[in-house]
Amino acid sequence: MKTAYWLALVLVIIGAVNWGLVGLFQFDLVAALFGPASGLSRLVYSLVGLAGIALAGIATTSQASHRHASMPVAAH
């Protein structure tokens, strides 16, 4: 799980940097490296998207477990 988390994090950072470059300079680094609309570019975009979804799931699961851990146990 730890390796998958770090891989997802690196992919999301790559995506964030790419979107920052697109927004600031209208430069798509992924397309420049692998060709616009190439199979490899589409693979990178897809992996970044899946990594974002995975991290969103990890974050919500992690927050939920922290929230439940800090709740006091009710006495019966």
> What is the reported pLDDT for 27?
98
pTM given for the model: 0.76
Q: Which residues contact 11 (CB under 8 A, 6 or more apart)?
A: 47, 48, 51
Is 46 within 8 Å of 54 (Cβ atoms)? no
Mean pLDDT of the chain: 88
Of 50, 46, 27, nearest to 38 by C-alpha is 46
Tens of pLDDT along the chain (76 residues) come to 789 899 999 999 999 999 999 999 999 999 999 999 999 999 999 999 999 999 999 888 876 666 655 555 555 5
Domain range list for the chain: 2-57
